[in-house]
Chains A and B, each alone.
Chain A
Amino acid sequence: MSDKRLTFKKRLHILKHRFRGKKMAPAFNAFHTFLFSPDETTHSGSHIRGADDLKRTMNTVIMALVPVLLFSMFNTGYQHYAAIDAANGVARELSLWGNFFTWENLWIGITQVLPLVIVSYGVGLLIEFIFAVIKGHEVEEGYLVTGMLVPLIVPVDTPLWMLSVAVAFGVIIGKEVFGGTGMNILNPALTIRAFLFFAYPTWMSGDKVWVHEAVELAGGPDAISGETVLGYLAQNRGAEMSTAYDTWDMFWGFIPGSVGETSAFLILLGGLFLIFSKIASWRIMVSAVIGSLVMGLIFNGVVDAGWITETSNFYGLMSFEFWKHLIVGGLAFGIVYMATDPVTGSQTNRGKWIYGFLIGFLSVMIRVFNPAYPEGVFLAILLMNVFAPTIDHYVVRGNVARRMKRLKNATIFPKDLDSKEEELKVETA
């Protein structure tokens, strides 16, 4: 064999042909196409094709998530140490290079956030590979984005075994049983999040899970708080919250919360990048922002009108300035990265406006009225996932109705030419 002189590319090509038709071919091809885009040429229809494929599309979303992930690694550490300082009564001033972008913070990120990423990808991709091999289709790229989203929407101290179970559930029940990437009804990442929330409610809610080690230290002498902005507000502790975090903290993201949801600024950048690259729908993002602002304004209006007093359970959240809903909690993250999922969202342009608006509207509504847990984005998006086909159905029916209306004026000539010949001559004379 003169294989030694062959290039790497050629060797992989030979391997690909050896694997062809074998059970493990999809697994090999997944690695092969990761390294090299395939040598496939067009067989039917257009002889040339556009430059993008699904891998590139998914990769673009991941690129939009990378800044969020990096920031969250530092923020995890920062929130951990800030909570300890707060518990000890030590005053702490945020300084970007002094106590935020530090090795100490990053180390917490590396030990706490990276394992979430690795477990999410590891378990999810393993299942995808198994299904691809069993069903004999190529490994599709859907999980590339899901795998990155999952660690960013869970509390930082989520035990890895819980995450594994949730990922397995989300990928199998949420996606593979429907036929894999492109066929699922619910957003897989949110299915995973919802599974965690409903399967382990005591772990996933409350005030302790948002900051690293808050759970372990709870009840002890070194107990630290892990309350989120929304958590404070839900307990009508707005004043306490405003002393702890100002609006800029919320915007830049120096607040506790799910791993990647805190920085509205970086999420905004990611959203602009996705809109610019034409990968995500700007219609959904814009309408979701409008929807949340409208709901926020309604709540503010109710408070201004005096229908709700400070004694009400909902006062804290309802009096929260309407636009601030966008920079706390998971709303911005959900709007930019989850609502825009093309598979589970509305597929028509008009439908996207309705779909997005309702996501924003319901997110804020659920957030305010949810007694157990002051957040509603993932529930709102999952609910709208279910309604998206219905929205599309009515939008498409509109088009059909136009066509049916046109049909009334249709110019139809009978096929029997002989009897029509005379008439035709007259008309064209």
Chain B
Amino acid sequence: MSKDIRIKKGLNINLVGAAEQTISKAVLSNVYAINLDDFHGITPKMLVKEKAEIKAGEALFYNKNREDMLFVSPVSGELIEIERGARRRILTLKILADKSQQNLGHNVLDVSSASSQELKTYLLKGGCWPFIKQRPYDIIADPDTIPKAIFISGHTTAPLAADYDFVLQGKENELQTAITALGKMTPGKIHVSVGKSSSSPLAGLNGIELHKVSGPHPAGLVGTQINKIDPINKREIVWTVTPQDLIIIGELLLTGIFNPERIVALAGSCIKTPKYYKTKIGTEISTFLYASGVNSDDFRVINGDVLTGAKSKPDGYLGFYNTTVTAIPEGDDYEFFGWNKPIFNKISATRALTFSWMQPNKKYDLNTNTNGEHRAFVVTGMYEKVFPMDIYPLQLLKACMVKDLDEMEQLGLYEVAPEDFSLTEFVCISKQPHQQIIREGLDLLHKEIG
């Protein structure tokens, strides 16, 4: 049974440099790294010391608030560096990989007969729990909670992001195992979405409620789908998992081994031959970046897609949750009369001498220029055109800015994650940092209300 979701409000950002659907194997990285920024709100407590030898799948650190939530190493080798920032906060853990990899194996669990508690313990121990995120607050799920539903979006609408239909092929077994396991953790449904005419292996799984999604971005964002299928109310909890992470969860349950392998889309206008690479979480981005070639000196590497990813470097490392790496030109240059001349080479949600509306299917080569300076909120009605949720985006942003907890709650902050505001941020004429505002609002609400 499937229920269709049709999104009308939104904006497709068509960029040049989409990954061609061929998979190459990336060369093995010497050093792998775990970036602690990937785990929002987690205070790490190290389990191993610098210079220690560890196996793949062995715990590096645990969550200070929950000792049984382990974060594991993607490879076996030596923990060569614990990079610390201000107030000795841990930033990055770097592991020098062994030539021959050794995995930490767990006893295989029979998913069909295991209880929810057994499964949770297994995932926590095996390092797969951090793949399960929860809303409200867009953080790693609390294993003690029972979600009213679990949402998995298998539809991609974000610009240049990895196409799930393609990367999930042949992984039915792992996906099904993970779904079965997750199904035991909620009395509610597991909502899985795929594109309208998709060939995704997700569509054939058992124990799910399938939704066919169509429409412009952000139709593929899980937050949009939650809002349309079963919106989150105060005190309710839903979990979200991305499909590629389901594979890792499924494989752990099937084989007892944490296999951080992933198919990553390398895309963007600065890549000569954008395509997919088979690699591992934490790998050095340069291991596949230069295999495809870059055609610019001044470019930005983004860990993720252009709307929600994190800024990185060619010698940065593939993030824990990422399935896409994008390279686009930096826009650190002035433009003569950039504010009043007609614009043909940039995307705009208006028609104020901007002409992207004439060619909706044209692919653009956008850079990182802000195209204007930061201003107070002035224009209204722009965000609503690209924001399909039943929420007033401007009012919610303002509530977050003035830290009005009641308003934040009532206007629907529980339902959103920063990524849901990536498109409003893109069209924002006042160049306000929407995702940051929402993140800070969520953190405040989490701290005050819990």
Contact = CB atoms under 8 A, between A and B. Distances in A.
Given A37-B339, A39-B333, A421-B116, A402 B390 contact: yes
Interface string B362-385: 000011111111111111110010
Is chain B's binding surface mostly helix, strand, loop or mixed?
A: loop
A46 B350 contact: no
A141 B380 CA distance: 16
A39 to B, nearest CB: 5
A8 to B, nearest CB: 9
Contacts of A411: 148, 188, 236
B352 A57 contact: yes
Given A51-B343, A181-B375, A399-B391, A36 B338 contact: yes
Interface in B107-158: 115-117, 142, 144-148
B380 A279 contact: no
Contacts of B343: 51
A410 B333 contact: no
Interface residues on A, range: 35 or more
Contacts of B412: 399, 403
Interface in B315-354: 326, 328, 330-340, 343, 346-354
A38 B373 contact: yes
Interface stretch (B53-61, B256-264, B277-285, B303-311): B303-311
B369 A40 contact: yes
Contact of B350 (A52, A140, A342, A348): A52
Interface stretch (B42-50, B80-88, B289-297, B423-431): B423-431
B147 to A, nearest CB: 8
B394 interface: yes
Contacts of A276: 351
Nearest to A392: B395
A400 B410 contact: yes
A373 B409 CA distance: 48
B378 A41 contact: no
B187 interface: yes
A414 B148 CA distance: 11
B426 A48 contact: yes
A55 B394 CA distance: 20
Contacts of B148: 411-413
A415 B376 contact: no
Which one of A342, A411, A413, A415 has the highest number of Cβ atoms from chain B below 10 Å of its Cβ? A411
B368 A47 contact: yes
A44 B421 CA distance: 12
B418 A45 contact: yes
B304 to A, nearest CB: 9
A365 B14 CA distance: 50
A89 interface: no
Nearest to B356: A51
25 contacts: A13-B334, A39-B332, A41-B367, A45-B425, A46-B422, A46-B426, A48-B366, A48-B368, A51-B348, A52-B348, A55-B372, A56-B353, A60-B350, A60-B352, A138-B375, A180-B376, A181-B378, A277-B353, A278-B350, A403-B412, A406-B231, A406-B233, A407-B233, A410-B236, A424-B116
Interface of A: 9, 12-13, 33-57, 59-60, 138, 140-142, 179-183, 276-279, 281, 342-343, 345-349, 352, 392, 396, 399-400, 402-404, 406-407, 409-417, 420-421, 424-425, 427-428
